[in-house]
């Protein structure tokens, strides 16, 4: 049985699909993952994936290009030859546009989560209840499709990861990751820099990580007290750096989920623009900081709609440093 599993948005979203992918891999002969360009690096890290198809869905990507007939025809051709398809989506996304293309490609069985009437587009219309964590929400769909959950439902990455001791000087540090893809989810940079200073003063080695486009930010945050790795790691190397940390400080962004996928505790600076019950780092010791009842709650805002960004600016560096001590101690007890 050749199964297409779909998650078409960002790195974190693809990582959260990992338990569902492993469930499908437990019974399928071949698992092909369809992702978008923003999630491709994470797709290559997921255990259980035999092949990756990359395509930018204009109904998913936040900066979509025009819908072109030739591109849709080419993509529909790429979708031929699957026995089943499982479309994993966020609560605000619809599986139906892709289901239509899969029908045109001849896919005989399609499952997805849909509040909208699917007509003949879905064979399985799964309808979850409540604010369950996103990995379990996707896992429930594939279980409903006949793929039992794996014994371990935590997030995972493909092994082995590269050795990054030459970048970090060895394990046992704290990672601060100040960047986010959405500005409304970012802890203010001067708060991040102050947290680095406090953690260094407390005797911790601090490593600051970031994308290649965030080098100015990571340099500011690292200052004289942190090791700046901004733009110096691939995603597998970043996973290795995060694995070597005692704890990771990050906003609601892909590297927070990558930290969870390698088993590292997370201090999460979480803006309530989406529900933490669904999107907080899953399966690891966690400190959730930020005003979860702020006016931006559930707004899905990309830019903060409230002057002063109070949901996160109200969290000071001292609170973060204290939370690091707590989650790092939990991990040490659990692994000691």
Task: Give the pLDDT of the chain (336 residues) as one tens digit per residue.
Answer: 999 999 999 999 999 999 999 999 999 999 999 999 999 999 999 999 999 999 999 999 999 999 999 999 999 999 999 999 999 999 889 999 999 999 999 999 999 999 899 999 999 999 988 889 999 999 999 999 999 999 999 999 999 999 999 999 999 999 999 999 899 999 999 999 999 999 999 999 999 999 999 999 999 999 999 999 999 999 999 999 999 999 999 999 999 999 999 999 999 999 999 999 999 999 999 999 999 999 998 898 989 888 889 999 999 999 999 999 999 998 554 443
The span from the CA of 45 to the CA of 25, in Å, is: 15
Q: Are strands 245-251 and 173-177 parallel, antiparallel or unpaired?
A: parallel
Report pLDDT for 308: 87
Give Cα separations from 66 to 104, 221, 286 (angstroms): 20, 38, 40
Beta-carbon-side half-sphere exposure of residue 9 (alpha carbons within 13 Å):
20
| β-pair type (30-35, 51-54) | parallel
pLDDT for 286 equals: 97
Domains of the chain listed by start with CATH number: 2-144 (3.40.50.2000), 165-335 (3.40.50.2000)
């Amino acid at each position: 049985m050749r199964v297409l599993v779909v998650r078409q948005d960002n790195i974190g979203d693809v990582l959260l699909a990992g338990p569902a992918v492993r469930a499908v891999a437990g019974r399928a002969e071949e698992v092909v993952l369809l992702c978008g360009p923003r999630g491709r690096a994470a797709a290559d890290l997921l255990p259980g994936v035999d092949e990756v198809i990359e395509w930018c869905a204009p109904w998913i990507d936040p900066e979509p290009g025009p819908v072109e007939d030739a591109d849709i025809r080419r993509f529909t051709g790429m979708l031929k030859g699957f026995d089943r398809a499982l479309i994993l989506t966020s609560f605000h996304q619809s599986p139906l546009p892709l289901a239509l293309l899969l029908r045109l490609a001849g896919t005989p069985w399609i499952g997805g989560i849909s509040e909208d009437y699917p007509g003949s587009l879905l064979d399985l219309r799964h309808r979850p209840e409540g604010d369950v964590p996103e990995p379990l929400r996707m896992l429930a769909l594939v279980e409903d499709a006949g793929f039992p959950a794996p014994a371990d439902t935590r997030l995972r990455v493909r092994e082995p990861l590269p050795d990054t001791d030459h970048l970090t000087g060895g394990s046992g540090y704290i990672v601060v990751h100040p960047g986010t893809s959405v500005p409304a989810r970012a802890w203010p940079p001067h708060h991040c820099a102050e947290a680095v200073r406090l953690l260094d003063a407390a005797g911790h080695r601090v490593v600051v990580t970031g994308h290649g486009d965030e080098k100015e930010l990571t340099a500011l945050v690292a200052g004289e007290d942190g090791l700046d790795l901004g733009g110096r790691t691939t995603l597998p190397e970043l996973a290795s750096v995060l694995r070597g940390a005692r704890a990771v400080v990050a906003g609601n962004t892909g590297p927070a989920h990558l930290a969870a996928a390698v088993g590292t505790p997370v201090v999460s600076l979480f803006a309530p623009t989406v529900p933490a019950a669904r999107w907080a780092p899953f399966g690891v010791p966690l400190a959730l900081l930020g005003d979860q009842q702020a006016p931006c709650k559930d707004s899905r805002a990309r830019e903060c709609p409230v002057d002063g960004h109070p949901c996160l600016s109200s969290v000071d560096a001292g609170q973060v440093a204290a939370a690091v001590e707590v989650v790092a101690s939990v991990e040490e007890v659990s692994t000691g």
